């Protein structure tokens, strides 16, 4: 197989490229470099600079590289930006996906893997979120992921494409410092950012119905997530149909517990500031990891300290202290 990895120069995409090339899969990356960096890619992986919105380019790339499967990660991913610019998110995330799927169908490509998100669930009041928990996204970003899944499955049925939708939970860490997330949109880099500015980390609400009153999330190391893509790609290569899978550890960690691990890693143990709740934050969002183990033969191996330590090495490389 030859896999096209869209968003391959991004944070997660570069880890997927690495996991797949380490496993001797043939890959080519496509990225418009709006948020990605070519330096994240190994020298032997071709990078096509362009957009998933450019159908003619996609057709040329499929033909030139003999692409037989697609791993589609390219998307805009900032929740607040999606609330402010919903039409842009629908145009880029859904429009890009629709253009890509048309080109995939026309080229007769039979395998498609889609980056979805726990954001499709919204804020369900359950202990463990299974893939059958009803989806009710609470922002346009999550809506584009849920609509994207519908589109992927419909195109799969219409054109005989085998599909997998991976619903990632809270991604953190880096397989190598140079591959780390350079954005400050998730909790780990947000806390690093505060500490680097000589400010205390912030906790938004400590009166939730959880053991320590702070929100609980399921954190997944990006290197584990990349291995889940490899497992899913191999499943796609061998079987047909569609599959939707949570990618998490199945273990909840509270914001306060996470900040404690960050304090131990960085040596900066200043007490966090407790501020008001943010609208839309669910008290708890933890994956059931059972289907991933069953269907993909994949289980996360790395814990939160490893995520934080590797993310901290990446932060120091990109931001200094
Ligand atoms: N990071 C997370 O915590 C998280 C959680 C759940 C789901 N996801 C999803 O995983 C995927 C990758 O996220 P990431 O964290 O690596 O983000 P990222 O911004 O680092 O990577 C996205 C990459 O896609 C590229 N891109 C964006 N739009 C494009 C387009 N139209 N055509 C070509 N390239 C385009 C960007 O330049 C970037 O390199 C996204 O689909 C995101 O929604 C991420």
| Whether this model's pTM surpasses 0.75 | yes
Tally of helices (H runs) and strands (E runs) in the chain: 11, 14
How much distance in Å is there from the Cα of 194 to the middle of ligand 1? 24
Residue 171's nearest CA partner among 246, 96, 235 is: 246
pLDDT of residue 321: 55
- The minimum-distance atom of ligand 1 relative to the CA of 13 is 16
Mean per-residue pLDDT for 67-85? 96
Name the strand (E) or helix (H) holding 232. Answer: helix 222-238
142 touches ligand 1 (CB under 6 Å): no
Longest CA–CA span in the chain (Å) reads 57
137 touches ligand 1 (CB under 6 Å): no
77 touches ligand 1 (CB under 6 Å): yes
pLDDT in tens, 197-210: 999 999 999 999 99
Q: Is residue 287 within 8 Å of 250, Cβ to Cβ?
A: yes
In this predicted structure, the answer to whether residue 238 has a pLDDT above a threshold of 90 is no
Backbone angles phi, psi at 116, to 5 degrees: -105, -165
Residue at token pair 């191999």: 234
Mean per-residue pLDDT for 111-119? 98
User: For the chain, what is the mean pLDDT?
Assistant: 97
52 touches ligand 1 (CB under 6 Å): yes
DSSP-assigned letters across all residues of 263-307: HHHHS--PPPEEEPPPTT--SEE-B--HHIIIII-------HHHH
Number of other residues whose CB lies within 10 A of the CB of residue 124: 17
pLDDT in tens, 177-187: 999 999 999 99
User: What are residue 29's DSSP bridge partners?
Assistant: 5, 47
Query: Measuring from atom 2 of ligand 1, which residue has the nearest CA?
Result: 171
Band the pLDDT of 284: cuts 50, 70, 90.
very high
74 touches ligand 1 (CB under 6 Å): yes
In this predicted structure, the answer to whether residue 319 has a pLDDT above a threshold of 90 is no
Output DSSP code: residue 119.
Answer: G
Which is catalytic among the residues 89, 141, 168, 208?
141
34 touches ligand 1 (CB under 6 Å): yes
Task: Please choose from 39, 74, 112, 147 the residue to mutate so as to test ligand 1's pocket, defined by most ligand atoms within 8 A of CB.
Answer: 74
How much distance in Å is there from the Cα of 216 to the middle of ligand 1? 24
Q: What percent of the chain has pLDDT over 70?
A: 100
Number of other residues whose CB lies within 10 A of the CB of residue 134: 9
pLDDT in tens, 10-69: 999 999 999 999 999 999 999 999 999 999 999 999 999 999 999 999 999 999 999 999
At 63, is the secondary structure helix, strand, or coil?
A: helix
Q: Dihedral of the CA atoms 81, 97, 37, 227 (nearest 10)?
A: 110
Token pair, residue 77, equals 């991913």
């Amino acid at each position: 197989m030859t896999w096209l990895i869209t968003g391959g120069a991004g944070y997660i995409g570069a880890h997927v490229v690495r996991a797949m090339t380490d496993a001797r899969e043939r890959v080519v990356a496509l990225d418009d470099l709006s948020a990605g960096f070519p330096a994240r890619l190994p020298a032997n992986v071709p990078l096509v600079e362009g957009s998933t919105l450019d159908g003619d380019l996609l057709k040329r790339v499929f033909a030139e590289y003999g692409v037989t499967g697609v791993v589609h990660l390219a998307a805009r991913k900032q929740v607040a930006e999606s609330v402010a610019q919903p039409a842009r998110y629908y145009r880029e995330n859904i429009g890009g996906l629709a253009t890509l799927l048309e080109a995939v169908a026309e080229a007769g490509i039979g395998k498609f893997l889609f980056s979805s998100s726990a954001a499709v669930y919204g804020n369900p009041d359950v202990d463990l979120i299974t893939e059958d928990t009803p989806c009710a996204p609470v922002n346009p970003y999550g809506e584009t992921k849920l609509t994207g899944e519908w589109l992927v499955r419909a195109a799969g049925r219409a054109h005989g494409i085998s599909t997998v939708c991976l619903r990632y939970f809270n991604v953190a860490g880096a397989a190598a410092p140079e591959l780390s997330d350079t954005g400050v949109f998730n909790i780990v880099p947000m806390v690093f950012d505060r500490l680097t500015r000589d400010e205390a980390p912030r906790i938004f609400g400590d009166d939730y119905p959880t053991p320590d009153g702070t929100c609980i999330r399921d954190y997944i190391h990006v290197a584990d997530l990349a291995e889940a893509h490899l497992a899913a790609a191999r499943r796609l290569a061998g079987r047909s149909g569609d599959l939707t899978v949570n990618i998490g550890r199945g273990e909840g960690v509270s914001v306060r517990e996470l900040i404690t691990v960050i304090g131990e890693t960085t040596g900066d143990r200043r007490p966090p500031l407790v501020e008001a709740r943010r609208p839309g934050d669910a008290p708890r969002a933890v994956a059931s990891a059972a289907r991933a183990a069953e269907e993909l033969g994949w289980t996360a191996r790395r814990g939160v300290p490893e995520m934080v330590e590797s993310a901290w090495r990446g932060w120091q490389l990109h931001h200094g202290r």
